Chains A and B, each alone.
Chain A
Amino acid sequence: MAKKSKYNCNPQLWVEHYSDELFRFASVRVKSREIAEDLVQDTFLSGLNAVKNFRGDCHEKSWLYNILRNKIIDHYRKKTNQEIKQGALTEDGEGDDSFYHRFFMREGMWAGHWKKEARPGNWGDSADHKMEKEEFMNFLLLCMSLLPETWSKVFSLKNVEEFTTKEVCKELDITPSNLWTIIHRAKLQLRGCLEKRWKGK
């Protein structure tokens, strides 16, 4: 492959060899295709600057991955705090009820129980099929991209990056309660979105 030289990097070939893989990595973690594309480009640019300045050895793929990872985290940090606080999150998710009224009954004897039209449908065992699994994933990614920005970030950090609770809270400056409320809402929304689009309900 690359012959040993003073610079063990070949920026010219980065795009051909790594851009798709880096793009897939970013796509699962950020909301939109455009953001993922920008992050990949920024990663290459940062890499290029590092090579120019330090003229050192770089291990190409894993090194580029690290740059991308850090850029994704920087992206999560941006303008998050304000949005989350505005999301009217309270301790046990009771505040700002309007979101929940899409799914659960508001008052009366059955307050807090599923509304008839929102009840989860039967998804069956069909997700065992490889084809169905891929289709499921396509729709899930679509639905994730439709989540509000802050929920998307929390969800990604927790599920995709597998940050600990402490790490996510530190990263986004939220309390564990905020985090659980966001996860609850995100799950309700994702599940509903999936059922509508995947099952055509």
Chain B
Amino acid sequence: MLTCKKATYYSSVKNYTNLSAPQQMQLKFHLMMCPHCRRFDAQSSQIDESISNFAKNGHKAEMHLTDLKKSEIKDTLNQHLN
């Protein structure tokens, strides 16, 4: 029987690498029995999905450089132009 520590390990990496058949079975069985790890498993996937979506589409309207920073960059570029 897996410990929760091991189960969370499998949950964390299963989207990146193939767990062996025994490992998959062990995880499945543990998740059947352990509601905490079930939550972890779902939340771990939710994190992966959110990051993936954001990286692909991600435009938070608020995320931008300040006007001050833009001025600084423009000044630096101008210096280099001359």
Q: Are A23 and B65 in contact (CB under 8 A)?
A: yes
Q: Are B77 and A14 in contact (CB under 8 A)?
A: yes
Q: Are A19 and B17 in contact (CB under 8 A)?
A: no
A60 CB within 8 Å of chain B: no
Q: Which residues of A contact B44 (CB under 8 A)?
A: 187, 191
Other CB < 8 Å A-B pairs besides A100-B5, A144-B51, 14 of them?
A11-B81, A12-B77, A15-B73, A19-B65, A19-B70, A19-B73, A44-B76, A48-B77, A48-B80, A137-B50, A137-B58, A137-B60, A160-B55, A188-B12
Q: Which residues of A contact B42 (CB under 8 A)?
A: 123
- Given the interface pairs A24-B59, A137-B54, the reply to whether A190 lies near B47 with Cβ below 8 Å is yes
- Given the interface pairs A120-B40, A187-B47, the reply to whether A112 lies near B4 with Cβ below 8 Å is yes
Q: Which residues of B contact A23 (CB under 8 A)?
A: 63-65
Size of the B side of the interface (Cβ < 8 Å), in residues, is: 41
Q: Which residues of B contact A49 (CB under 8 A)?
A: 80
Q: Which residues of B contact A28 (CB under 8 A)?
A: 51, 54-55, 58
Residues of A in contact with B (beta carbons under 8 Å apart): 11-12, 14-16, 19-20, 23-24, 27-28, 37, 40-41, 44-45, 48-49, 92-93, 100, 103-104, 111-114, 119-123, 127, 133-134, 136-138, 140-141, 144, 158-162, 165, 176, 180, 183-184, 187-188, 190-191, 194
B25 CB within 8 Å of chain A: no
A171 to B50, CA, bound (A): 24
Q: Which residues of B contact A183 (CB under 8 A)?
A: 12-13, 16
Query: Would you mind naming 8 contact pairs between A and B with Cβ atoms under 8 Å apart?
Result: A15-B70, A15-B74, A48-B77, A112-B3, A162-B52, A162-B55, A180-B13, A187-B8
Q: Which residues of B contact A180 (CB under 8 A)?
A: 9, 12-13, 16-17
- Given the interface pairs A23-B64, A111-B3, A183-B13, the reply to whether A41 lies near B51 with Cβ below 8 Å is no
Q: Which residues of B contact A160 (CB under 8 A)?
A: 51, 55
Q: Which residues of B contact A159 (CB under 8 A)?
A: 48, 51-52, 55
Closest to A180 in B: B13
A120, A158, A161: which has the most chain B beta carbons within 10 Å? A120
Closest to B41 in A: A120
